[in-house]
Structure formats: C-alpha cells, structure tokens
Structure 1
Amino acid sequence: MTDPAVETLATGLAFPEGARWHDGALWFSDTHAREVLRLDPDGGGAPERVASVPGRPSGLGFLPDGRLLIASTHDRRLLRREHDGTLAEHADLSAIASWHVNDLVVDRHGRAYVGNYGDASAPPDPPQPAALALVQPDGSAVAAAEGLLFANGLVVSGDGATLIVAETRAAPGRLTAFALDPADGALSRRRTLVEFDASVFPDGLAIDGEDGIWVASPFSAEVIRVDAGGAITDRLAIADPYAVALGGADGRDLFVCTSGTWLPEQAERERSGAIRRLRVRVPAPSGS
C-alpha cells in the first residue's frame, strides 16, 4: 500500500456520498445533512447546495440530457432534478427496495440501476438479500437482479455491456459483474469479478478509461484499484473513504468522500466529513 499526496478540498460535511463528476464539477450528496452539493474543485469556494432532500440523498447519476437523478434513501424514491432546479419523482421504488435505497448508476441510455440495504441490520448481523432495481427513462421500474448483499457502488463498463456492483456485506466483500443487455437493460450472467480479504468492505466505485475500478474501502482505510480482469493493481492509503469519483481537467483526479463515522446521529453532530483529492495514473473515460 502506498501513501499518496492527498489534498483536502472541503470540510465540515456530515456524510458525503454518491460522488459524480459532471460538467466540470464534482456533485455529491451530504446524506445526513439532507442536501446535494456541487463543488468546483479549483475554484477555492465552498460547495454550493443544488437540492434539499428531506428523505436523505445518496446515489447520484445524470440522464443523457443532463438532468440529475437522486436516490432519496428513507422514502425509497428516485428523484429527478429538472433544469430549473425543481425536484420531481422519477420512480417509486418501495415495491422493489426492501429497505433504504442507496447508490445508483445511470447508463448511456438513461437507465438507472439502484441498490438498497436489504434491511435495518448492521454488522456483525448478516443482511437480508435484496433486489437491484432497474428504472427505465420513463420512470417504470422492475427488479433486475435478486439476492444482493447490501448493493453499494455501481459502475458500467466503457462499452456499456457490463454492470459492476459492490456487495459490501457479502462474506467476503466482493465486486459482482452482470452482462447488460443494450436493448432493454436486462441483467444476466452474474459472476464474481473479485473477492477481497476480510478487512475490505467495498463501498463506492468509480471506473477509469481502462475499465479499472476504484473501490472505496473505509474499514481498511484505503482506495483499491481492480483491473478489468479482477486483479488488484493499486492500494492507496487514505482514512475513512466511503465514495469515489474520477474527473478533473485531465480526468486523473480521484475525488474521495471521507467521514469519521457512518452513524447518522454522530455524523450530523461531528461533521467530520470531507472531500479529498489525489492523483492517479489512468484518467476517467473520455467524455465523462
């Protein structure tokens, strides 16, 4: 494991999550502060609030037309931020998600894949296996896969043909890959891309231009890169990482959402959350 140069871009956050690079800025949820923020990483200013979400925001993704999708965790809805900044319900996932919704990814066709916790349990108790929701651009939703153990970070491969999901509370933690049907978004041919050692509970994910996947691993205090074949290529030390995003002017900035705690009440009280930045070798996919 190497110790990279880490730059701090923002502090005083409750629990930053769901980071996405879009339109020259970092967008992320401050889940336990109930808001979505936008940060210009080189502007020197504080993050700008772009949405207030009483149900606590988590995963973010952008439709092809630039509108933002937000996972509203506690009410199990997917919200859509219109171009004028107003929020509308994009999908009600309460019939699919058995507990709070979590991270999401949007593919090139505007289809969103959304995970959920499964139940209210916490380690060391095992979670209830849960469904992964597929939301079409028109807001219709179905269960695309069953039996995931706390589906967390999600990414889509550069060719759009593979969906990768972090199963945080599998034993051991793992990245699970599915073949993604370009016609309708259906998932099939489930396989394990990589299993980690017992110290790693994979959380947020980001994908680079070589289909390498950066994995936030909060409890082993590192971010881990896994190549397209499932081999671990890099392990970079950083404290308390829960989500990651690739972007910046040349695509080689790895933004890391950190927090001293994941517990909601403690996070709201302590506001130890921060946005960090470190440099990596392989840039984000072109056009991202």
Structure 2
Amino acid sequence: MVTERLTRAIGRPVARVMPFVGRGYTPARRMIVELADGSKVFAKQGMNEYTAGELRREHENYLRLHGSFMPRLRGWDDDGGLEPILVLEDLSGAHWPPPWRLDQVHKVLDTITAIAEQPVPDDMPALMVEWVGGGWNAVAKDPEPFLSLGLCTARWLDRALPPLTAAAESARLKGDSVLHLDVRSDNLCFSGDRTVLVDWNHACLANPEIDRAFFLPSMHAEGGPAPEEVATIDPAMVAVVAGFFACRAGLPPVPDAPGVRPIQRTQLEVALPWAIRALGLGA
C-alpha cells in the first residue's frame, strides 16, 4: 500500500522502501525510497492527527517558497486522513552537523538572511507572538516547572524575573520577513555549496532576528562558538529565547516525542547564561 502511494506521489516506479532513523522528534514515519532507476528520495508519512497537520503545512510551504535553502519537492500524496506522504530529495549523504566549523555557522546565518529576503507570499501566516515571546510571563504564573530544573534558586528568580520579563516584552517580534522558525542542527545540512534547511512546517512572517537568536544556543551546545562570538543579537531577543525554553523544559514529556524536553533543557542551559550576560543580571 505504501509502495503504491509512493509511486503515485513521485510518478515513477518504486523498487524498495527502507526505514530512516536518526533524526526527528515526532512519530512521523521516515523512509528512504529507492526508485527503479537506482536513484533515491526521502519520504515522510503522517501517523496521527498532529503529524498529518504538520506535513500538510510543510507541503504548503514548499509550494509557497523557493530557494536553494529548501529540499527539492519530489512528490505529494494526501489520503485526506492521518497519513499524507511528503516526498523530498534525499539529503542523507549531506553533512549534518555537529561538529561545527566557524565557516558553517556563518553559512547558516547568511542563509537565514537569504530566507528573510524572499518575496513574501500573500497567504503566509504571521508569527504567533505570545507563543514565542510569552515565556517569562508563563514562568511567573507557574515557576515550579522551571525551578525543578535546578538551574537557579527561587531567590534568584524573584530578583531576575522582572528584568527578564520586561526585556522579553520589549523585543520586536513582529515583522514581514520569511522565517523558518526551527533552525537547529537536526533541521539543516550542507550539501555541496548549499545550506539546506528541512522541516518547514513552522515557517511564518516575523522579525528574522528570531531565527538567528534561536539557532545560536543549539549550535553552541554542540561544541560551536559562543553566541556573542558570531552574532550581535538584541538583548531583548536573547531574553525571549531564554524564556521560550524556560517555560517548557521542565514540563512533562510530550506524548510521542520524549526527546523534546531534553533538547529544550540543553538549549536553555546555553540561553539562560547568555541572557544573564546580555542583560547584566549577574549570577
């Protein structure tokens, strides 16, 4: 059944379907598909309501946006239910960091700029500002999940929360540039002279500094340079990044995606000290 659907989506005979493991935090099914002529493509199939919706949003963005920073769209088959299939070029042979080289970090930052300079599609959604920027307000309402991480004391939080919240609330999040909104090493690779970002389901319109700021903690956590060494980011935006992870990393595991909270904590362990330095809060 899957082979038949892949053949229909791609428009070419399928010889073999192989499971792909190693990246991704959702239960979507991932496959390397070998075609009758020996070439290969990559396919993702929805497995529940959430992954089906995300794949449909991602497919819409492949139709809206175009550039060397996106995988080439190879096919699409929508069953109208929970298992749509998106087919893209096979990038399994590309370099997926880490490790990081300084020139690669700059390539990613340059690619974020190139994405932001794309013509704006008429139907591209705007950023949900509170979802990104409301982290410290959420911590103020319920500090226990954040405090349970052991990254600070309640006394320190009482002192630091007002300036962190004020800074985050002053950040300029709205904008009319295209963002990927999930720039991390597991979502990007280097293929020849291309820097390619995958998983375009969150793409929206906002201030492109959001993509730059959110990329830097994950890169540094993987052995790359400190954020301040490669980019100048508004301290208010740094507070937004730290707050985004602070209000989420201590929450219960995400159903069907147990790896999400650990990676959020890893990014918080970089973003929080970065915000402390950027705002001059002290230890």
Please indicate, yes or no, whether the TM-score normalized by the shorter chain is above 0.5. no
Q: Which has the higher contact order (CA 8 A, sep 6+)?
A: 2
TM-score (norm 2): 0.23
Structure whose residues are more often helix by fraction: 2
